[in-house]
Structure 1
Amino acid sequence: MPPRIQRHEKIIALVREHGFMPIDGLARALSVTPQTIRRDINHLCEEHILRRYHGGAALGERLENDDFQSQKNKMQSEKAHIADVIAAHIPDNASLFMSIGTTIEAVATALVKNHKNLCIITNNIHVAAIMSGRSDYTVIITSGVVRPLDGGVTGVATVDFINQFKVDYAVLSASGIDQDGSLLDFDYKEVSVMQAMMENARLRYLAVDHSKFGRNALVRMGDITDFSTVFTDRALSAPMREKLEGAGVKWLVAERESVHDA
């Protein structure tokens, strides 16, 4: 196999693994110059395999759909367990914001089993479809532009719509969590929507499986300490536990079904 093709495969693998890779990081990993990496990224962008951002690259359209389907099928039991525990912490008659993502869709599935009289405001048409079958639910879909990939609704109109409400809970996820606790995503429009949900909710629940910790993405949504409770499926690292304890944030490891209070 030609060296250039081998390099392209390694670049794609690194971007898949980390979500976003800076040019300098790819150059170091592959022992080539940044100029070589830029040419490789340009070629892969022309093929819609990658999408170029300032200073690096993320997955392009051709791979995003494959990765979304893979993500949807991956760790289903872990996501379902997280969802069940979140559902146990939401009472009947509550109002909720619910954002984009397969974990949030799992939460929707868990809630419809036995919760009554919920009001759900969501920018996720899959969540709306799951929850609209209940006659005692009020399901409100935000305005905005629908992404064909994952059924997410984003845009300026979406943020304006969200800002009209004040709800009991915001149930959100993130594409990645940096070591310093920064919550990361790839789409600044989606981030703007989630920030509006955070600002207009009395309690904020973060639902993230263990694969999100240490995963890179381009846009900063906020900090893990911005949430009331963090729900995940594996024990957190000691530095992350200390960070949450210092901020008075609870975390719950669904696998062990044990709540930790700071």
Structure 2
Amino acid sequence: MYAPERHQQILTRARADGRVDVTRLAVELDVTPETIRRDLTALERHGLVRRVHGGALPVERLGFEPGLVDRQDLLSGEKERIAKAALDELPDAGAVLLDAGTTTLRLAEMLPADRELTVVTHALPVATVLAARPGVVLHLIGGTVRGRTLASVGTWALRDLAEIHVDVAFLGANGVTAEHGVTTPDLAEAAVKRALVAAARRTVVLADHTKVGHVDLARVVDVAEVDTLVTDSDVEPEAADDIEAAGVRVVRA
């Protein structure tokens, strides 16, 4: 097993169980405890876990939110597939909203050059990618910029979003479950995400398999307000089935 695969298994276990133990992981993954300690150090360096005596805790349990740079290279293959599948949700022409996040940023990079689109975003990285793109009319939502996600939040952003209506909103999420809906770590970003949903005729959530079945601090919307969830093929079948049973179309990329 390669190190990135091991890292993902460790992170998934930490998020599911609330903590991981070095000795137990070494046995389960058939490696030495020293290898697991190096793995945990690497995950901590990326802001995904916090080391404790004998193991580690996921940052979500401690109330930490990894920054954009820390998340950019995590699950890059899955995010690539999700963004590519999300292209099928674009209108032939019209207006879309792109939320902040690493997967929505990948979608922005993939937007077809032969399609006339109006793109509205509150995410500075998305705006940077699309600012000079031919065929794209870009509208940047203002507000207070959060350092962790480089997204505009607050009353200015909410006011601007209340004045528009688009065909599709592409929403990022830190958690998606049938019971608790779409969730995210920050209350201010949750409010903006709700405004994105309210401004769109259809809502498409982009979330890799580690987010499906996970619940975070701030509720965005119920799953009943989501039209499509695009995730990857490693999604937990039971969690995806529950979301489908709630009326959401689930695309496994």
In structure 2, the residue matched to 1:110 is: 110
2:113 touches 2:134 (CA, 8 Å); kept in 1? no
Per the normalisation by structure 2, the TM-score is 0.73
Whole-Å separation in 2 of the counterparts to 1:114 and 1:82: 19
Alignment deviations for residues 61-118 of structure 1 (CA, whole Å, 9 cap, x no partner): xxx44xx32310111121111111111221332211111100110110111x434211
Q: Secondary structure at the match of 1:212?
A: coil
Number of positions where the alignment pairs a residue of Structure 1 with one of Structure 2: 203
Pair 130,79 (structure 1): closer, same or farther in 2 beyond 3 Å: same
1:95 touches 1:167 (CA, 8 Å); kept in 2? yes
Q: Which runs of 5+ in 2 are unaligned?
A: 1-49
- Aligned-partner residue type, residue 51 of structure 2: E
1:179 touches 1:213 (CA, 8 Å); kept in 2? no
In structure 2, the residue matched to 1:75 is: 75
Pair 253,240 (structure 1): closer, same or farther in 2 beyond 3 Å: same
Q: Secondary structure at the match of 1:14?
A: strand
Q: Secondary structure at the match of 2:149?
A: coil
Deviates more, 1:202-211 or 1:235-244: 235-244
Alignment deviations for residues 204-232 of structure 1 (CA, whole Å, 9 cap, x no partner): 10100011124342111122332111100
1:59 aligns with 2:101: no
Q: Secondary structure at the match of 1:213?
A: coil
Q: Secondary structure at the match of 2:133?
A: coil
Q: 1:251: Cα distance to partner?
A: 1.0
The 5-angstrom pairing of residues 75-94 of structure 1 reads: 75-94=75-94
Whole-Å separation in 2 of the counterparts to 1:245 and 1:100: 25
* Structure exhibiting the larger radius of gyration computed from Cα positions: 1
1:146 touches 1:153 (CA, 8 Å); kept in 2? yes
In structure 2, the residue matched to 1:152 is: 151
Q: 1:181: Cα distance to partner?
A: 4.4
- Aligned-partner residue type, residue 228 of structure 1: D
2:177 touches 2:243 (CA, 8 Å); kept in 1? no
2:180 touches 2:219 (CA, 8 Å); kept in 1? no
2:176 touches 2:211 (CA, 8 Å); kept in 1? yes
1:181 touches 1:240 (CA, 8 Å); kept in 2? no
Whole-Å separation in 1 of the counterparts to 2:173 and 2:240: 18
2:244 touches 2:250 (CA, 8 Å); kept in 1? no
Q: Secondary structure at the match of 2:92?
A: coil
Structure 1 segments of 4+ aligned residues over 6 angstroms from their partners:
none
The 5-angstrom pairing of residues 105-254 of structure 1 reads: 105-111=105-111, 113-178=112-177, 180-234=179-233, 236-254=235-253
Whole-Å separation in 2 of the counterparts to 1:242 and 1:74: 25
Give the share of equivalent positions with the same residue, in percent: 24
